[in-house]
Amino acid sequence: MASAAAAGDGQFKLSQTSVLKINKGDITQWFIDGSSDAIVNPANQRMLGGGGADGAIHRAAGPELREACFKVPEVQPGVRCPTGEAKITPGFKLPASHVIHTVGPIYDSDKDPKGSLRNAYKNCLTVAKENNIKYIAFPAISCGVFGYPYGEAATVALSTIKEFANDITEVHFVLFSDDIYDVWVKKAKELLQV
């Protein structure tokens, strides 16, 4: 019998054609079909790897990912992906077929962290649609090294995805920590339909 409880704590409706699933886990392991799926990498502007999820994604994808990132043209010295923008590469050794690299705001130094975080989610979804991605998995962009408060980040993330997910069949969050997972589910219950 279908019910909100049977659907699980972390499943929400975004539109008639699109669902949101919130899960705990390691985003490097995530995939749906290995052909129209993408994980989002919370990268930095250089796009050549780093710590946190970015480091884990590069390790799991293998050195070809760094080579593909290196080929993304610089728009300024040292900047391949400005804050709030998104660039796509193959996933190489990852189970997911694609990686969408985005750069979230550094909470304490960005002039408009909310606008920049919104742009990051929005542009990931735009790039996904342009590349016929049907399944996409996000981490909690900017909620690690970049210091964004979880509750505020969840509001921006979920409201932006609700607004722009239309042609994506499934949007997933794959969250590393219990506390971020709990904040995301609580906020989704406030903002989205179960």
**Does 119 participate in binding ligand AR6 (rule CB under 6 A)?**
no
Residue from 144, 154, 156, 172 touching ligand AR6 (CB under 6 A): that is: 144
Between 42 and 91, CB nearer to ligand AR6: 42
Catalytic site residue from 37, 54, 112, 179: 54
Minimum Å gap between C-beta 3 and ligand AR6 is 29
Paired tokens of 139: 């981490």
Rounded to whole angstroms, the Cα distance separating 97 from 38 reads 6
Window 61-100: residues binding ligand AR6 (CB under 6 A): none
Between 110 and 128, CB nearer to ligand AR6: 110
Between 38 and 53, CB nearer to ligand AR6: 53
**Is the four-CA dihedral 140, 39, 173, 74 of positive or negative sign?**
positive
Window 2-61: residues binding ligand AR6 (CB under 6 A): 26-28, 42-44, 50-54, 56
Torsion of Cα atoms, 160 then 186 then 149 then 82, to 10°: -20
- Given a contact cutoff of 8 angstroms between Cβ atoms, the answer to whether 67 and 49 are in contact is no
Between 104 and 113, CB nearer to ligand AR6: 104
CA 31 to mean position of chain CA atoms: 13
* DSSP per-residue string spanning 102-169: E----TTT-SSHHHHHHHHHHHHHHHHHHTT--EEEE--TTSSTT---HHHHHHHHHHHHHHH-TT-S
Residue from 18, 83, 89, 142 touching ligand AR6 (CB under 6 A): that is: 142
Rounded to whole angstroms, the Cα distance separating 64 from 142 reads 25
Q: Does 54 qualify as catalytic in the annotation? A: yes
Catalytic residues: 54
Contact residues: ligand AR6, CB under 6 A = 26-28, 42-44, 50-54, 56, 104, 139-146, 174, 176-177, 180
